[in-house]
Structure 1
Amino acid sequence: MLKVLASTWALLLGLMLLMLGNGMQGTLLGIRGAIENFSTTEMSIVMSCYFVGFLFGSRMAPEMIRRVGHVRVFAALGSMISAVLILYAAAPHWIAWALMRVVIGFSFSGVYITAESWLNNASTNENRGKTLSLYLIVQMIGIIAAQALLNFGDPAGYILFVIPSVLVSLAFTPILLAVSPAPAFDNTRPMSFRKLYTTSPFGLVGIFLLGGVFSAQFGMASVWGTQAGLLVRDLSIFIAAIYVGGLLFQLPIGWLSDRMDRRRLAVILAAIGMLAVFLPVVVDLPFLGLLAVAVMMGGISNPLYSLLLAYVNDYLDHKDMAAASAGLIFVNGVGAIAGPIATGWLMGLIGPSGFFLFMSVLFAALVAYGLWRSTQRRETPDASGAFTALSPTASALAVEAALDRADEETTPA
């Protein structure tokens, strides 16, 4: 692991700074939106627009890279991110923020694709699995640490918008100076929805529902916290706890996924997640109780994403996995766009508890659909699609590389 870190530290440092900037701006907007008296509906649209941009970026960025090259795309999108992070404070209007969130979502998607291609190229067949594991850890640490930075300024001022802008700008220095040119890569055409559904109805529906869960966590947690009256310190701790859970639960759930029926495990995890996030709806929990819910919420949803990807791949030939992964990422993105809007509607209807109720409903739908599918297709294949820890923000390139490497590691010599 130390050898891998020594060869990729510059890339990983740059990616961590990117996650610091992105994690900080997502939470900060929810807090500042309340200060500007934006309604819950307005903030839900603002938060949803990030995923609109991210989805378009995932489809358009590879073509941009092929036309003008990695360095130019990376520099151009990075400049737009830094500019938008400053402009948030200069143009505190929800419509302006919504448009800027489309731009920043598009830009971050392209930046991730470019950085992940470099990271993939910088690793070897022998260390690619460890490199991708470090990548996930760095992502989580970056988002967790970003929450602490929120306590170093006044959300009503400018400084907290300047900090992520500077961090994102600094992120490009180690990446651009330390890496070799990345190879050109093909933009994998997604598998059709019809074929994905025919292959694994439970996997497709589950990935779509998880898109809503992730976007609620990433986009609406700060809106919930301000509506619930949390202090900035407590809100930052709550959001950090979500990603701590995601980091801690990946390994044990991955271990279980190789030793029991994956559909059954997914249903069990979704049921646990449903109960955990429904608890704050019916019980007025103390802050420590909310932290426990946050850990469970992130600890269930993040590994569940990786589990469902592996489950779909159990039904596929190796040659079809890349196309299926690209299609599932698109489906997840569509679900993510709807998540904040539906959450905001529920919060406007019943108050802050709508944040948890929305995720509970999605987990319940996943449980119900999984149980119904077990009556339609009782047999499930052996766990041939290797489980590998993946982030919902990972591009198709990173997902394909991770699954390829995990598949190699689990295939007998």
Structure 2
Amino acid sequence: MATRTGAAAPTLWRDLLAIMAGNTLVGMAISFTAPLLALVLEARGYSAFTIGLNSAVASVGIFLTAPFLPWLLRRFGPIRCIQAGTVVVAAALLSLTLSESIVWWFVIRLLIGIALSVPFVFCEAAVNALADDASRGKVIGIYGTLFSAGFAAGPLVLAAVGSQGVLPFAVGAAILVLGVLPVGLAVNADRAMSISNEIRLPMVWTRAPLPLVAICAYGFVEVALFGLYPVYGLSVGMTGAGVGVEIAILLAGSCLLQMPIGWLADHLPRASLLLACSLSSVVLILLLPLATQDTLVRWAVLVLAGGTLGGLYTMALVLLGERFTGADLAVANTAFVMFFQIGAVAGPSLSGLGMSLFGPFALLPTLALALGATAIVHLARSRRGASP
């Protein structure tokens, strides 16, 4: 289990909130730039396939960066790595305005994915390393709430700024640079992540399979849901505005329920709580086609679905922090992000295939099956008496 760093509690909370604030702004920049780049490419006449492929290239970044993250951590420490990675992403985003060449955009999008994996891995690892195990659920719940809020704000900023010209790229870069500033206040993060047992990536799976399966399922569902739910919604007679409202309600549910779930994680068996989030998400997703008669009931289902889906992420990160300490958390979080990206690639691909073969109504059962994998792994390991 992770241990205290020896710093006073107010100092630790200053460090935690500094890292959380920085990563919240990074999350805002991500949700701002992803639709921005898609809109710009669409305006230039590129096909949906090309736009999707350009977006997918960024996901390859973590797999290219993973072998070098432990060395970067030892050489520079987490804070300087987070700051440098974020600045590189900001500079790369601005460099997209230098050329309209699609080859250039693919190269830069790959660079963005490589650089972005550094703050993602080290921010999550630093928060887990600084957190005391007794309050880890509360800490990760706050972290998840703030990141979700930042992620939800990105599209609103884009709607205000628009997608024309250099301005939106400058705004995205400015948000990222602002995210660098608070992280520098986290003076205890380097010390908290200095302890290491020199674990390697395959060892993360043997020691913590349940969090990895859970985050893979979360990535599968999140990316497929936000990418394909508009197709499903329009097929059942919803308007584009109505789909937007329902996605916003899902995000609101994720923001609202992370702290309560985090609090429960400090008072209940954590693996069991993750199982409850998984099974609840399955039930709520399958209820959506039935909850059509009463708007308030449907919104309640959406809020709870968003909350339990977000709880899957929160609980997976909490369980990861239970099993690894210090610098080992950087390796564990690398595996964590890699499994998320595997799910993020598989989710829209397999869900889209299912919708092509069986119609739009196949989306929700496909997502439910993916979430069910977490429950299967938990129950299988529990029957064998193994740690989840």
Q: TM-score, normalised by structure 1?
A: 0.66
Superimposed CA distance per residue, residues 290-314 of structure 1 (whole angstroms, 9 cap, x where no aligned partner): 7656534431222223435666888
**Equivalence map 1:115-134=2 (5 Å):** 134=142
Counterpart code for 2:251: Y
Check whether the contact 1:247–1:299 (CA below 8 A) recurs between aligned residues: yes
Q: CA deviation at 1:362?
A: 0.7
Match of 1:246 among 231, 254, 258: 254
Check whether the contact 1:86–1:165 (CA below 8 A) recurs between aligned residues: yes
Match of 2:200 among 183, 186, 190: 190
Q: 5+ residue gaps in structure 1?
A: 386-413
Check whether the contact 2:144–2:258 (CA below 8 A) recurs between aligned residues: no
Check whether the contact 2:15–2:186 (CA below 8 A) recurs between aligned residues: no
For residues 255 and 70 of structure 1, do their structure 2 counterparts lie closer, same or farther at Cα, with a shift above 3 Å needed? closer
Say whether residues 1:338 and 2:338 are aligned partners: no
Q: Find the aligned partners of 1:100 and 1:289 in 2 and give their Cα distance.
A: 44
Counterpart code for 1:192: P
Match for residue 160 of structure 2?
A: 152
For the residue of structure 2 that corresponds to 1:339, the secondary structure is helix
For residues 356 and 290 of structure 1, do their structure 2 counterparts lie closer, same or farther at Cα, with a shift above 3 Å needed? farther
Superimposed CA distance per residue, residues 20-55 of structure 1 (whole angstroms, 9 cap, x where no aligned partner): 212212343455555556555444433433332134
For residues 94 and 239 of structure 1, do their structure 2 counterparts lie closer, same or farther at Cα, with a shift above 3 Å needed? farther
Say whether residues 1:210 and 2:208 are aligned partners: no
Say whether residues 1:51 and 2:71 are aligned partners: no
For residues 294 and 252 of structure 1, do their structure 2 counterparts lie closer, same or farther at Cα, with a shift above 3 Å needed? same
Match of 1:83 among 68, 91, 95: 91
For the residue of structure 2 that corresponds to 1:51, the secondary structure is helix
Q: Find the aligned partners of 1:290 and 1:85 in 2 and give their Cα distance.
A: 39
Check whether the contact 2:14–2:186 (CA below 8 A) recurs between aligned residues: no
Superimposed CA distance per residue, residues 185-244 of structure 1 (whole angstroms, 9 cap, x where no aligned partner): 467533636x845x6765554443333224435xxx256548967999766655543333
Counterpart code for 1:377: R
For residues 368 and 113 of structure 1, do their structure 2 counterparts lie closer, same or farther at Cα, with a shift above 3 Å needed? closer
For residues 356 and 284 of structure 1, do their structure 2 counterparts lie closer, same or farther at Cα, with a shift above 3 Å needed? same
Say whether residues 1:377 and 2:377 are aligned partners: no
Check whether the contact 2:291–2:298 (CA below 8 A) recurs between aligned residues: no
Q: Find the aligned partners of 1:340 and 1:370 in 2 and give their Cα distance.
A: 25
Check whether the contact 1:243–1:298 (CA below 8 A) recurs between aligned residues: yes
Say whether residues 1:143 and 2:126 are aligned partners: no
For the residue of structure 2 that corresponds to 1:189, the secondary structure is coil
Q: Find the aligned partners of 1:49 and 1:327 in 2 and give their Cα distance.
A: 18
Percent identity, please.
21
For residues 196 and 154 of structure 1, do their structure 2 counterparts lie closer, same or farther at Cα, with a shift above 3 Å needed? closer
**Equivalence map 1:301-316=2 (5 Å):** 301-308=309-316
Superimposed CA distance per residue, residues 241-287 of structure 1 (whole angstroms, 9 cap, x where no aligned partner): 33332232234444555676666654443333224334556888999
Check whether the contact 2:215–2:339 (CA below 8 A) recurs between aligned residues: yes
Q: Find the aligned partners of 1:249 and 1:186 in 2 and give their Cα distance.
A: 33
Q: CA deviation at 1:167?
A: 1.1
Q: TM-score, normalised by structure 2?
A: 0.69
Match for residue 170 of structure 2?
A: 162
For the residue of structure 1 that corresponds to 2:315, the secondary structure is helix
